[in-house]
Structure 1
């Protein structure tokens, strides 16, 4: 009992809100994880964070750190910043791909509304000609369609219909199936396919068929107009994307006249998706980005995968479909999910480990062999960019957190 008391004092000392039921043997590990995260906050690399570590039915650690917003537009420090809590919604960025769109495709597959090897031309007629006619749903899920990785579609489109037509007419960058080239455009099209099959907008389909049945009350697109107050702030406009467009030496070589469009946001983003393609060209709802959620809601979706499609005694997705999506493909990844250990910052993890990251500073890591999951959410963009234009690299911190968890659980 004395050890537990001393451990709780240590947790309080490092300045976070954490799980009060931590077993004594876990105290050292948790103190180390807290110290790692607090160090990055102190060095102004991230303003705040939420973490949850779960093994089986037990939460090993649950904590919130720092602030939901530290800086306002112009990098002015906020007076009396709001402390981060586990209740805050985060712009999960590309976690939308797996916690939204991939689940949507899984549900439609479970209903026999589509097949993974269906050509996408079956649902998107503009793709029926040329090499694009070979693209299948599986190609989109595995990022092997040959589509460009990223283009500023908002330079060519004011809404999702124009955005869709622009992508449909865009030449492929690689041959279909040539290799894995991570593509936001492919997941935009998966969102379009869900809408065309279901007859519903993507956000309504996911709400009706996944989030509401699972009783997720804090997972949604465009939370700003829905009365939510506890939302972590992200970037100050879209300076990273603007540099992607204006600076060819930044590594993106976008073929547009940078000055032909000039509707960049000039304020701190709060409740608006950071991703420019999702916001400017898709109204905040897209297959690749736009979802907001909390650690608790994300945990429900993670557990659904860990439990082979079951929540408690009810099966929401067939076990065989879950297995199919979490089986390594020829590129070493799952369908939607990434399994490359360097990409997901899980070096040293066993085979079958999978996860995904989000550009805003979010990530999920799941180790099925050990019934272990780590959900780590930050709002790194709010402290601004590093020298050179990039945001703080969370990869080493994510790997260090995993190392502490894995070493102490095995």
Structure 2
């Protein structure tokens, strides 16, 4: 009897002593964590001026020392119907959901991979062919190397794939044309390598489309179901989903993007192209037309409150509250610089040299990592200063400046000097 009591006491002691929850976020004023409120106010004024000059909308959130110290929205979530300005636009709020574009790569695909690696279900040195049947070299390939590609090669963007084969655009994709998910996987297998793997770093959406298929192969679940049920719901996130209009959200909760579908105001066309304002559907063409809205490279929607939790998970070394997704060793492995290029981690971009200044500015630590997204999104996570920044926006919700000369430059684009790095520097510069 005494032994049982002693065992019970020891068990209770061990649980209370060693079961430590991860930090969770709370709100405080910027001054309480060392910011100069007047200097932060200059950033506020500058963003306001950009919106008045035509920029569509933006949300910024700052974390410092486990505290949310700034969360603000500017501009409109939707101000155009096609090319026509709305008489009553929909204002952006701090709960507006945005198309994350390539930040999907980090907060869906990388988070899933980090969890699966931690659980021992995937090794970054696994061959891609281990998880995708039929993936490999063929006799007609001019450049070979697919048969020996590892997951780490894909994550480092040294796998040899072109940046964007444009699978849904028949005029560009040719024999690789696909507007069906299962067909897209076969087209990826047949996509010719552009360079011998390991000889260059070329950032490619194809890499992350492959990684999404690997996650589905390992888990036996569609990518959206896996991350939503195994990552976002346990963390208590309620606004981070793929295909939000199919999951209970309304357009009014979401920022709109391109005005006239994917036509760049009429200069691009291909089968089934959208022509109405993109609102609540992923903008990315490959994700929407070729992958049904769910892809490893794009398709995720979220708001700054939810992204704040995901950034805090990384700062915490893999968990939040009583939820553990992975460990610090895994975080360090994925966010460390590669030997070949200091700016590439395993998927994450790292502030490894001056080439990343347009992304991370000049004041963030060299260990800062994060990612950008084409729709106007940035995340920057600085483990040295225990700080993180998320910028969400709808940059392409604006007329194209000159569709024929460059269909990817929008009238509402920020002023030339206004890069993500400039905004990040204003935030760091406000620290006392």
Ranges in structure 1 where 5+ consecutive residues have no aligned partner? 1-18, 247-257
Cα distance in 1 for partners of 2:105, 2:385 equals: 24
Q: Shift of residue 183 of structure 1?
A: 0.4
- The partner residue of 2:391 within 373, 376, 394 is 376
Paired with 2:288 and 2:235, the residues of 1 have a C-alpha distance of: 27
CA distance in 1, matches of 2:84, 2:179: 32
Give the structure 1 partner of residue 85 of structure 2: 77
2:327 corresponds, among 297, 300, 318, to: 318
Deviations 1:109-131 (A, max 9, x none): 11111111111011112223352
Whether 1:406 and 2:428 are equivalent positions in the alignment is yes
Q: Are residue 131 (structure 1) and residue 145 (structure 2) matched?
A: yes
Using structure 1 for the length normalisation, give the TM-score. Answer: 0.87
After alignment, is 293-302 or 234-243 more displaced? 234-243
The 2-side partners of 1:138 and 1:22 are apart by 39
Aligned-residue RMSD, C-alpha: 1.9
Distance 2:327 2:132 in 1: 26
Q: How do 1:28-43 residues align onto structure 2 when only pairs under 5 Å count?
A: 28-43=38-53
User: Which residue is 1:255 aligned to?
Assistant: none
Give secondary structure in 1 for the equivalent of 2:293. coil
Q: Equivalents in 2 of 1:345, 1:385: separation in Å?
A: 27
User: 1:158-215 deviations in whole A, cap 9, x for unaligned?
Assistant: 2111011011011100111112100000100000000011110000111121111111
Q: How far is 1:101 from its partner? A: 0.4
Q: For the residues of structure 2 that align with 1:58 and 1:285, how far apart are their CA atoms?
A: 32
Assess if the C-alpha contact under 8 Å between 1:134 and 1:176 holds in 2.
Answer: no
SS at match of 1:68: strand
**2:254 counterpart of 1:231:** yes
Q: C-alpha deviations, 1:212-260, integer Å up to 9, x for none? A: 11111110000012231310011121134986xx6xxxxxxxxxxx7xx
Q: 1:343, CA displacement in angstroms?
A: 5.0
1:95 aligns with 2:117: no
Give 1:120's aligned residue: 128
Gaps of 5+ in 2: 1-26, 138-143, 171-176
Q: Of 40, 44, 49, which residue of structure 1 is paired with 2:58?
A: 49
Q: Highest Rg: 1 or 2?
A: 2
- CA shift for structure 1 position 153: 0.8
Write the distance in 2 (CA, Å) between the matches of 1:365 and 1:170: 32
Q: Distance in 2 between matches of 1:32 and 1:81?
A: 26
TM normalised by structure 2 equals: 0.83
Task: Indicate the residue corresponding to 1:109 in structure 2.
Answer: 117
Counterpart residue number, 1:195:
216
- Structure 1 residues 168-247: aligned runs within 5 Å: 168-229=189-250, 230-236=253-259, 237-240=261-264
Give CA-to-partner distance per residue, 1:381-402, whole Å, 9 cap, x none. Answer: 1122234332325772422222
| 1:201–1:381 CA distance, 2 compared to 1 (3 A) | same
Other structure's SS at 2:90 match? coil
Whether the 8 Å CA contact 1:47–1:66 is kept in 2: the answer is yes
Which residue of structure 2 lines up, in the alignment, with residue 337 of structure 1?
348
Partner of 1:273: 282
1:241 to 1:319, Cα distance in 2 relative to 1, 3 A: farther
The answer on whether the counterparts of 2:361 and 2:422 sit within 8 Å (CA) in structure 1 is no
1:273 and 1:279 in contact (8 A); partners too: yes
Native 8 Å contact 1:275 1:290 kept in 2 = yes
Quote how far apart the aligned CAs of 1:60 are. Answer: 2.4
How far apart are the structure 2 equivalents of 1:134 and 1:326? 24
Distance 1:360 1:190 in 2: 22
Offset of residue 312 of structure 1: 2.5
**Contact 2:97–2:239 under 8 Å retained in 1:** yes
**More strand per residue: 1 or 2?**
2
